[in-house]
Amino acid sequence: MKTLKIAIQKSGRLNEKSVELLKNCGLSFENYKSSLISNVSNFPLEILFLRDDDIPEYVQDGIADLGIVGENVISETGVDVSFLQMLGFGKCTLKLAVQTHSTIENIADLNGKSIATSYPVILKNFLDDNKIKAEIRTISGSVEIAPGLGLSDAIFDIVSTGGTLKSNGLKPFAEVMKSEAVLIGRKGIENEPLIVELIQRIQSVLRAKETKYVVLNAEAKNIDQILALLPGVKSPTVVPLAEEGWVAIHTVIPERDFWEKISLLKSAGAQGIVVMPIEKIIL
């Protein structure tokens, strides 16, 4: 059987989560920091550890079949690949920012100004779309210090919490793109059986991450009121307890409405609520 290759970041912000995702898919491999390739022992897959900038082109050119990389890097390299699955980690926003005392307040003010960035392609597309003529100064890192050094009037960079901008005396004034890690594949690979299998495994892990398994006790007279609050994967399981008139209810609820649900359940008479993580949900 043909062995697939997946390219992931060797070290950096996406490495750990990418490795964790593949391990949670039941793939068994050594995460050698020093080697560039690792063999998965229980699936026909090789993992290539690369600089994230190289991943889109490796996938486009078929050197790797799959890759995990930020959407920002895909846009910047302008490659033609298939987006197979959004992965929900590595979230960030690409923003324009200026020094706190700058007179630049909106994107129109950028006309005739200079902007330092490591993402010249995304920035150029944005400026062209908005018919703004500004000079792009491409630098490979530490973009935040450019205005302070007099190298540029503004910067265009990745922001997650905004802490780095603040500590460099900068403030964001426009958002250009949101990004998260995504599973990409070589064009045309989507329907190959091994790819389909791997995507299904990834989806079952992601689905499980978004949900919790909840067990609670309640008096039988409160069942209807409690069940009305619980959507469940299919429908909640209700089992009688040894104590007469009491039941245990088992269900699965989305993490996002978790706290809201818990307080509603308590006021509907739920007791001894136990919340557990789920490893996988296979539909």
Positions that interact with Mg ion (CB under 5 A): 52-53
**Residue 105, CB-side half-sphere exposure with 13 Å CA sphere:** 1
Nearer to ligand ATP, 26 or 162 (CB): 162
In the complex, the smallest distance separating the C-beta of residue 73 from Mg ion, rounded to whole angstroms, is 7
In the complex, the smallest distance separating the C-beta of residue 51 from Mg ion, rounded to whole angstroms, is 5
Can you list the pairs that 225-231 forms with residues at least 24 positions away whose Cβ atoms lie under 8 Å?
Answer: 225/268, 225/269, 226/265, 226/268, 226/269, 226/270, 229/261, 229/264, 229/265, 229/268, 230/261, 230/265
Q: Which SS3 state, helix, strand or coil, does residue 259 take?
A: helix
Alpha carbon 35 to its chain centroid, in Å, reads 25
Q: Which does residue 90 touch among ligand ATP, Mg ion, none (CB within 5 to 8 A, set by kind)?
A: ligand ATP
| Residue 211 engages ligand ATP in binding (rule: CB under 6 A) | no
Nearer to Mg ion, 52 or 153 (CB): 52
Enumerate helices (H) and strands (E) in the chain, giving the number of each: 9, 15
- Single residue of 6, 25, 64, 158 touching ligand ATP by CB under 6 A: 158
| Residue 72 engages ligand ATP in binding (rule: CB under 6 A) | yes
| Residue 160 engages ligand ATP in binding (rule: CB under 6 A) | yes
In the complex, the smallest distance separating the C-beta of residue 80 from ligand ATP, rounded to whole angstroms, is 19
Encoded one letter per residue, x for contact with ligand ATP by CB under 6 A and - for no contact, window 173-202 reads ------x-----------------------
| Residue 52 engages ligand ATP in binding (rule: CB under 6 A) | yes
Do 85 and 198 meet the contact criterion of CB atoms below 8 Å apart? Answer: no
Nearer to Mg ion, 56 or 185 (CB): 56
**Which DSSP string corresponds to 214-231?**
EEEEEEGGGHHHHHTT--
| Residue 51 engages ligand ATP in binding (rule: CB under 6 A) | yes
In the complex, the smallest distance separating the C-beta of residue 66 from ligand ATP, rounded to whole angstroms, is 17
Nearest-CA neighbor of 22 among 84, 70, 87?
Answer: 87
Encoded one letter per residue, x for contact with ligand ATP by CB under 6 A and - for no contact, window 1-20 reads --------x--xxx------
Cα gap 111→183, rounded to integer Å = 37
Q: What is the largest CA-CA distance in the chain?
A: 79
Cα gap 23→31, rounded to integer Å = 10
According to DSSP, the residues that pair with 86 across neighbouring strands are: 182
Nearer to Mg ion, 53 or 109 (CB): 53
- Single residue of 56, 67, 90, 236 touching ligand ATP by CB under 6 A: 90
- Single residue of 8, 87, 92, 123 touching ligand ATP by CB under 6 A: 92
